[in-house]
Chain A
Amino acid sequence: MTIQEKQDEIIDEFGMLEGDMEMSINYLMELGERLDTYPEHLRDEDHIVKGCQSKVWLNAELKENTVEFQADSNTAITKGLVSLLIRVMSGQKPDDILNQVIYFPSRIGMSRFIGTQRSNGFSAMIKQMKMYALALNSKIKA
């Protein structure tokens, strides 16, 4: 699936929750729990993306010319949100990650879950993913 198709899939899923805040949080927490276990040795300052109230650890590796992301968070809701980004971005080519617009957060009303200030943390995470893609892209082309 392309980045766009994955985003549309997420928008459809959240559409079924009909804007119910607690159901949406519950769903996010479930998604977070399904995330692959994050490697302990990568839980360090180099991999941290700091938000206002939660920490996120993010790593990326190249796998057959696509980027595999791994992530974790110390809060369950943020972990769920991160899992959505991983679902969209992981397994994609670096060029696609760099060029595609991420539009699903606003379409699922994500600001309600994370607040305006923490949206900045989420933007920082998308930026960090793109930075990884950029670095790995130059590795492919080198």
Chain B
Amino acid sequence: MSSFATTQLDIEKIRKQFPVLHQDVNGKQLIYFDNAATSQTPDVVINALSDYYSLDNANIHRGIHALAERSTAAYEESRKKVASFINADEPEEVIFTKGTTESINLVATAYGRKFLEAGDEVLISGMEHHSNIVPWQILCEQTGAKLKVTPVEDNGDLNMEAFRGLLSERTRIVSIVFISNTLGTINPIKEIATAAHNAGAKILVDAAQAAPHTKIDVRDLNCDFLAFSAHKMYGPTGTGVLYGKRALLEKMDPYQGGGEMIKEVSFEKTTYGEIPHKFEAGTPNIGDVIAFGTAIEFVEGIGHDMLKQHEDDLLAHANSTLRDIDGFTPIGTSNQKASVISFNIDGIHPFDLGMLLDARGIAVRTGHHCTQPLMDRFKIEGTARASFAVYNTISEIDDFVTALKDIVSKYRK
């Protein structure tokens, strides 16, 4: 363990900002390694949420009183923060949703149903989360379009040659995950976007796992749509983002009807508002969106370079120490990986392993991670998955490895 850049980040100072980490679980200090499912929230985000309800709570956009003005300003400020965070051309290209799943469904519905017809194709990959499979299956059933799937290599990389081969003149939408929640693979999105555009298709990027780990630049990636969630990047649950290029968003029909999204309503004819409001029907999740803005400030305050360096160090340390464990089999060994380790241990079912780790205060996820087709691809029922965040430490990984070794020695058949 030589030059860990973790020394550059004051992890203890960061940990102090996350109250949830400081508790015992089953009599042991909690080690939280389930960050790919949801990350924990720092004091500043919790306070932003609390302050909103304590001081500013009011419905946005239509009110003329002081509280409505403050909440509207804070909500729209979050939109600007998101736009800057992903380097969008303008805040209007940022739509607030419930999260990544709703963002993908929005595109599948409002773009897909309008522009796809029988015989058209949607191209996804074999490592997609169910949320980037099922909306397209529904769209294909409704329109007669076909769903095509890019295969995954043994090491967890996308088969790019097959991807190019699957692109055709009928491909209308390519929807690919930036970082796999199960394998940790970081996909070459820029290359994928270029190939998709050359084939005349639009590209949606599922950036749920990417947002907390990698600097996202929608202009550099040249993606048409991009989706991510606040709760995987130290923000609150229940809100996320759909980024879309203005020209595309303007061409799309509304996703839902209601208040906020209209210009004029009469029983004869309703006209819709401009983007982004056209896609934000009803009272939005105001408090969480405002706190999301604070989460972005938290991430930017640390900096993506520092985050990535720290998480890469954690991953490297975990990789080098886990391989000593008898029967350890990693699933996903790409050279381009985020700090996610899926694995199995011969002779112990991942469910049993997860329970035994929980008994020692270590939170990992077990199961298919909402990627059942990927499990079928690797001919496994599920995996155990440890995923790291900024507040995790080398010493936590050492404790995790020690616990695993002990569990293997006691319980492995």
* A contact residues vs B (CB 8 Å cutoff): 21-22, 25-26, 29, 52-54, 74-78, 113
B411 with A76: CB separation less than 8 A: yes
A residues within 8 A CB of B348? 76
A130 to B27, CA, bound (A): 38
B358 with A29: CB separation less than 8 A: no
Minimum CB–CB distance for A117 against chain B, Å? 10
B residues within 8 A CB of A113? 355
* B contact residues vs A (CB 8 Å cutoff): 26-27, 348-352, 355-356, 358-360, 366-367, 381-382, 410-411
A residues within 8 A CB of B410? 26
B349 with A75: CB separation less than 8 A: yes
A78 with B360: CB separation less than 8 A: no
A residues within 8 A CB of B352? 25, 29, 75-77
Minimum CB–CB distance for B277 against chain A, Å? 37
Given A74-B349, A76-B352, check contact A21 B367 (CB 8 Å): no
A77 to B410, CA, bound (A): 14
3 closest residue pairs by CB, A with B: A21-B359, A22-B359, A75-B349
B residues within 8 A CB of A25? 352, 355-356, 359
A52 with B359: CB separation less than 8 A: no
A22 with B349: CB separation less than 8 A: no
Known: A25-B355, A25-B356. 15 other contacts (CB 8 A): A21-B26, A21-B27, A21-B359, A22-B360, A26-B411, A29-B352, A29-B411, A53-B350, A53-B366, A53-B382, A54-B351, A74-B381, A75-B352, A76-B349, A77-B355
Closest to A74 in B: B349
Closest to A115 in B: B355
Minimum CB–CB distance for B408 against chain A, Å? 13
Closest to A54 in B: B351
A residues within 8 A CB of B382? 53
Minimum CB–CB distance for A22 against chain B, Å? 4
A53 to B382, CA, bound (A): 8
B residues within 8 A CB of A29? 352, 411
Task: Show 9 A/B contacts (Cβ-Cβ < 8 Å), sorted by A.
Answer: A21-B26, A22-B356, A22-B360, A53-B350, A74-B349, A75-B351, A76-B348, A76-B349, A76-B352
A21 with B358: CB separation less than 8 A: yes
A residues within 8 A CB of B411? 26, 29, 76
